[in-house]
Structure 1
């Protein structure tokens, strides 16, 4: 049995950044990064819409995304002159009706207090700023003037993974089938092919599989996959202004943003409408029945659109409160969580990975205090709700 000082399960943005920051911050021990799909074709990160924003209701989420933004701002210094993730800093625009006004204002206050650069616009201001937008039924909008937008998720993940490998992290292709614990510690994982790998510290960055990995260690973690559809739209009549639009979230929950010469859009279903089928098959009727009419009502240019492509992505969804679970288990102290981001993993992955590195090296947080995201709230069933889940 080969043993590593740190074994990280899950090689997406969270696991790869944890491995990278461990080495960057001077950790001299051995690190293994275990990933079951090294093509990354179906991982959460690769199928993400690539957004980054500060428009959250939880201060820790704002700080995590600001950490990710700082990585983007210093990408070439961090990863070399050729590093590029296609960051489009066009902002987010989150809309509210009269019923949602108070929540949007409260969230905005939290965001400003945590250094976000956004502004509230009333219906008249929204119409002036975004002439392609129908303001009927809108009371307020929150627009991120800087520090928000989208990027290529696979490129960012690849930069972290390759840099980690260059620094000596061993990447292992395999699926964890069992976790062995002895006297209150995780001591090894067994892969599906029977190989056993010893660990000094075990990091659960398993994405949609985080709940299953936790159960192998006897831990009840309410994190699992939720299916989401992303539709690619061709809109020949779209104006230049619409192509420069921010990622816009309607009061209906429908979001859209430009994607090259096209657009992408989607809608997270209500709890009762969650797809029971977790396959990678797209339901095109979901767009016809739930999105198109309301989207065209908000943006008239979208009355003449064609769905030219679509894909399925999976959220690593924390069913308790849609917030991440980060930090050590209170009884299995060398078992660290970094999961449950509920669709925010790409933008918060660098900050979460850095936090894991700080816990391993220093035994505590140095950059962002994420104590409220710890497993204790899961054990108590005491949710810390994030109200801005898209």
Structure 2
């Protein structure tokens, strides 16, 4: 029976980052990375809007994204002179009405304390900064002048996975259908084709499937897939200074080359887990919710030409929409990297670094992820992130 010192379930950006940083931290044992969708056609990584921000309400989330930002700044040093992920550092602009300003201001204070380059401005100042913006019903907004924007998720994933090939990481295609467990230790995994792999340490980085993977080990993890549709449209006006704009309605929009992409119309209060096979775009959302919101906030978007759309799943933590990172308190050789609820791509390198440090050195060093530990799941104690987009 084959065995591996560390088995990672999930080979997209989070699992790949963990494997990459394990080698960076000097881990010399065997590492096996298991991915059921090797072309990543349905992966949260490649179907996301691929953005990075520092506008969170929790300091720990800001630190995770700031670590990844630092990695972006060092891509060529780490991955070679040709490394490029097309990072567009154009910021986020999160708007608020009068009732939302106290929360936005409180978040802004946390962001400033963490060194984020975010300005909080009233509606008149925003109108002057962005003349294309309608401030109807807006009291103000928070704008990231640097350290925020969007990038090519495929390129980032490609760089990290290419780096694994020269670092003696075994990458296999398979679907985990069972997890062996003896007492308070997991012992290995079984794949759908019957293969089994013994594991010294097992890492759950299975994205939207993370809750089901945990259940295979007899553990509860409140993570499920939620479907999100991204719409593409053309407009006569090209706003080169447009950041990723988040309206008070929850609708977001940003430029993407010569077109725009938009989303955010799903009603979280009324939805449940997505059908794992459902990747069909929810077209009615565009006509009924997205377009009216766009036209109100950016008058030039009253006349646009809808294009294609795609849908993806992200791993939604139903307890508090925040990540679960680190070991299970009783099954200590099972590590979680789950439940990022829409901000996993931007935080994956940081989580990879943190878990690698935990495995190799026995403690977090660069980023303390203790606040994201499983203990709060067991205690039903939310650690809630307010800025979920």
Contact 2:92 2:149 in 1 (8 A): yes
Between the aligned partners of 2:349 and 2:104, the Cα distance in structure 1 is 27
Separation in 1 of the partners of 2:330 and 2:213?
A: 16
CA–CA separation in structure 1 for the residues paired with 2:274 and 2:371 = 33
1:383 is aligned to 2:382:
yes
Q: Do structure 1's residue 184 and structure 2's residue 184 form an aligned pair?
A: yes
Structure 2 SS opposite 1:125: helix
The answer to whether 1:254 aligns with 2:251 is: yes
Q: How big is the shift at 1:273?
A: 3.8
Task: Confirm or deny: 8 A CA contact 1:244 1:258 kept in the other structure.
Answer: no
Q: Quick check: 1:292 aligned with 2:291? A: yes
Aligned to 2:261: 264
SS in 2 for 1:102: helix
Distance 2:247 2:33 in 1: 39
SS in 1 for 2:99: coil
CA–CA separation in structure 2 for the residues paired with 1:124 and 1:114: 27
Match in the other structure for 1:231: 231
Aligned residues: 387
Asked if residue 47 in structure 1 is aligned to residue 47 in structure 2, the reply is yes
What value does the CA root-mean-square deviation take over the aligned residues? 1.0
If the length of structure 2 is used for normalisation, what is the TM-score?
0.98
Q: Do the aligned residues in 2 keep the contact of 1:227 with 1:275 (CA within 8 Å)?
A: no
| Residue 99 in structure 1 maps to residue 99 in structure 2 | yes
- Aligned-pair CA distance for 1:114: 0.7
Report the 3-state secondary structure (helix = DSSP H, G, I; strand = E; otherwise coil) of the residue aligned with 1:271: coil
Deviations 1:126-163 (A, max 9, x none): 00000010011111110000000000111111111110
CA distance in 1, matches of 2:321, 2:153: 21
Residue 137 of structure 2: aligned partner:
137
**CA apart distance, 1:275:** 6.7
CA contact (8 A) 1:21 1:353 kept: yes
Contact 1:175–1:192, Cα closer than 8 Å, also in 2: yes
Which residue in 2 is equivalent to 1:38?
38
* CA–CA separation in structure 1 for the residues paired with 2:307 and 2:272: 22
Q: Give unpaired runs (5+ residues) of structure 1.
A: none
Give 1:345's aligned residue.
344
Q: Which residue of 1 aligns with 2:271?
A: 274
In the aligned structure 1, how far is the partner of 2:44 from the partner of 2:122?
35
3-state SS of 1:99 partner: helix
- What are the equivalent positions in structure 2 for 1:352-371 lying under 5 Å apart? 352-371=351-370
Task: Give 3-state SS (helix, strand or coil) of 1:265's partner.
Answer: strand
- List per-residue Cα deviations over 1:48-97 (Å, max 9, x = no partner): 10110000001111000001101101111111111111100000000000
Structure 2 unmatched ranges of 5 or more: none
